[in-house]
Amino acid sequence: MLLSSFSSSFSCLVALVLLVDAVLAGDPFAFLDWKVSYISASPLGVKQQVIGINGKFPGPTVNVTTNWNVVVNVKNDLDEPFLVTWNGFQQRKNSWQDGVSGTNCPIPSGWNWTYQFQVKDQIGSFFYFPSTNFQKAAGGYGGTIINNRAVIPVPFGMPDGDITIFISDWYIRDHKELRKTLEDGGDLGVPDGVIFNGLGPYRYNDTNVPDGIAYETINVEPVLFEPGKTYRFRVHNAGISTCLNFRIQNHNLLLVETEGSYTVQQNYSNLDIHVGQSYSFLITMDQNASSDYYIVASARFVNATVRDKVTGVAVLHYSNSQGPASGPLPDGPDEADTYSSMNQARSIRWNVTASGARPNPQGSFRYGDITVTDVYVIVSKPIELIDGRWCATLNGISYISPATPLKLAQQFNVPGVYKLDFPNHMMNRPPKIDTSIINGTYKSFTEIILQNNGTSVQSYHMDGYAFFVVGMDFGTWTENSRGTYNKWDGVARCTTQVFPGAWTAILVYLDNVGIWNLRAANLDTWYLGQEVYVSVVNPEINTKTDLPMPDNAIFCGALSTLQNQQSHKFKFSKASSLINLSDIRFVWILTMWLGVLVL
């Protein structure tokens, strides 16, 4: 009796503290309403079904500031289940909102579901996209901007404009047909094109580009006075599997940020952007206006015939331009040269003196001084048949998504859904299909080596974290490879490339409790099982390191009997809109006193 009344007042206290935490900080809310549906569009001049958000492809840009709360009510008007994931929003303590098959039941067709999370302690450029059923191949993606808080200086002057650009390889076949091809062991083949913000190539050459395709034009102000207006271009490769070289004729790309980190500022004439990666460039309009200029995204590591067939071309148009862009496209790098591409990747470094989401410099987290305690060498192999199914594996295991999401199985102790036995190296045993995940150690500094044993370049993404890219090289990783690591200014990001026959090493501090997806960002091999989850559990259970399950959680699989109709509303947003500031002060004082009493 005594015990139960103590525990109920204690949980009440916890609830109050949480409420006060959420409200006292006065962090603003962004409320978004999204309808996800098929729309008809012709990205490559041929009408097809594309996934739009509020009727648009690409979808709306989410533009928020560090610490804001984001509430997104997603209505699924597709004919199949849907989940959106936030590629790079770190979802601190909150894998309930991550929107991947291991954390959330899919939103059934015709239902809506409200995501709510805080963009805690992060800045930068990211994008969101559908995470299941190969739907990303049909679009459904859009940009995300997380601005610095006003008190934190940005390491460059305020740009004159902020422009989001999506580049992606594209097929005219719809996503259901594409995934069927993969399931049947087929290769998707050469993409039909590369699109810019959902539009096809500008007709730079009558042979390579048919007539009548709508293309993207980026309108800018010209040089009014030296040295000209400067724009921030946030460029995302939201494609399926093609690495793209991005460049703008006669203009330098000053790289300043990638996936939430300010980089050392360097000029590039072109940059390889791998699937899932995001970069910010400052681009100064310092050329004459005698013509428009080409913006190019060309396929990497394919032969020239394929490259020319699929090159994406948009137009940079100065407002006083005298005429269209003409002549050949600006040259990109040599198609086959992975060495220069790797060197370029290594040249991208962290600006250790710039402030990121916090006032102290990014480099004050001295990752190079921290002792690594856990090591995983994760080997990816080309697609193979396992038990009659076409699969892609990591350390010989092709991940299969259970009917009950991992996160829910963990919450409700549903037995037999997953095993915490993902091996830390390639085992000498036949490959298998399994739900085997990494048992991460809370607050351990973990080294992950991604070894690509296939023949095409890959990229890997980890949800919930930014990791340090400390090394990459050709050949097989060995312990001696550690001697080449960058222990000082390796960039912290969430998506890194891994070249064929090569490895990339990342370091990650597992301080974010939850179940987090680590995957091949290449949609084809991800779809065929090239993913794993990392479970990070704080042995001292508390709501400060892992937020409670939201009351609108959808149940499925072994827990589907818990699901009734959908008419829940998330507590925080309701409470915060009802309580005014004087109430909050009162509640705060009350909790302080209760806290003292309990102690």
State in angstroms the smallest separation of the CB of 9 from ligand NAG. Answer: 29
Find the binding residues for ligand NAG in span 130-169 (CB under 6 A): 145, 155, 162
Q: Please tell me whether the peptide bond between 500 and the residue prior to it is cis, using omega within 30 degrees of 0.
A: no
Widest distance between CA atoms in the chain = 84
Amino acid at 43: P
Q: Kindly tell me which residue out of 109, 303, 360, 577 binds ligand NAG, with binding defined by CB under 6 A.
A: 303
Mark the segment that binds ligand NAG (CB under 6 A) among 8-16, 180-188, 287-295, 571-579: 287-295
Find the binding residues for ligand NAG in span 471-530 (CB under 6 A): 500-501
> Comparing C-alpha atoms, which of 78, 75, 63, 71 is closest to residue 34?
75
State in angstroms the smallest separation of the CB of 489 from ligand NAG. Answer: 10
Q: Kindly tell me which residue out of 287, 424, 456, 481 binds ligand NAG, with binding defined by CB under 6 A.
A: 287
Beta-sheet pairing, 142-147 with 59-65: parallel
Site string for ligand NAG, 53-92 (x = CB under 6 A): ----------x---------x-------------------
Per DSSP, the three-state class of 581 is: helix
> Comparing C-alpha atoms, which of 332, 352, 354 is closest to residue 344?
332
205 lies in the binding site for ligand NAG (CB under 6 A)? yes
Q: Kindly tell me which residue out of 76, 118, 351, 522 binds ligand NAG, with binding defined by CB under 6 A.
A: 351
Nearest residue (CB) to ligand NAG, 49 versus 284: 284
Mark the segment that binds ligand NAG (CB under 6 A) among 7-15, 42-50, 123-131, 302-310: 302-310
State in angstroms the smallest separation of the CB of 590 from ligand NAG. Answer: 29
113 lies in the binding site for ligand NAG (CB under 6 A)? yes
Mark the segment that binds ligand NAG (CB under 6 A) among 191-199, 200-208, 557-565, 582-590: 200-208
- Cα 248 to chain centroid distance, Å, stands at 24
> Comparing C-alpha atoms, which of 227, 225, 218 is closest to residue 286?
227
Mark the segment that binds ligand NAG (CB under 6 A) among 269-277, 383-391, 485-493, 566-574: 566-574
Per DSSP, the three-state class of 3 is: helix
* Rounded CA separation 537/549 (Å): 15
112 lies in the binding site for ligand NAG (CB under 6 A)? yes
State in angstroms the smallest separation of the CB of 594 from ligand NAG. Answer: 31
DSSP 157-221: PPPSEEEEEEEEEE-SS-HHHHHHHHHTT----S-SEEEETTBB---S-TTTS-SS--B-EEEE-
286 lies in the binding site for ligand NAG (CB under 6 A)? yes
Q: Please tell me whether the peptide bond between 210 and the residue prior to it is cis, using omega within 30 degrees of 0.
A: no
Nearest residue (CB) to ligand NAG, 199 versus 438: 438
563 lies in the binding site for ligand NAG (CB under 6 A)? no
State in angstroms the smallest separation of the CB of 544 from ligand NAG. Answer: 19
Nearest residue (CB) to ligand NAG, 42 versus 265: 265
> Comparing C-alpha atoms, which of 12, 122, 126 is closest to residue 61?
126
Whether the CA torsion 486, 126, 339, 331 is positive or negative: it is negative
Nearest residue (CB) to ligand NAG, 398 versus 591: 398
288 lies in the binding site for ligand NAG (CB under 6 A)? yes
48 lies in the binding site for ligand NAG (CB under 6 A)? no
298 forms beta bridges with: 245
Site string for ligand NAG, 259-278 (x = CB under 6 A): -----xx-x-----------
For the chain, the residue count is 599
Nearest residue (CB) to ligand NAG, 305 versus 582: 305
Mark the segment that binds ligand NAG (CB under 6 A) among 44-52, 299-307, 311-319, 429-437: 299-307
Taking a C-beta distance cutoff of 8 angstroms, is the pair 273, 243 a contact? yes
The count of other CB atoms within 10 Å of the CB of residue 274 is 25
Q: Give the CA distances from residue 121 to residues 264, 358, 465, 493, 547, in Å, rounded to whole numbers and listed in that order.
A: 21, 7, 11, 14, 16
Task: Please name the residue that has the structure tokens 């050709």.
Answer: 474
Beta-sheet pairing, 458-462 with 495-498: antiparallel
290 lies in the binding site for ligand NAG (CB under 6 A)? yes
> Comparing C-alpha atoms, which of 119, 29, 113, 128 is closest to residue 73?
113
106 lies in the binding site for ligand NAG (CB under 6 A)? no
Residues that bind ligand NAG (CB under 6 A): 63, 73, 112-114, 145, 155, 162, 190, 205, 207-208, 250, 252, 254, 264-265, 267, 284, 286-288, 290, 303, 305-306, 308, 328, 351, 353-354, 420, 439, 441, 453, 500-501, 552, 566, 568-569
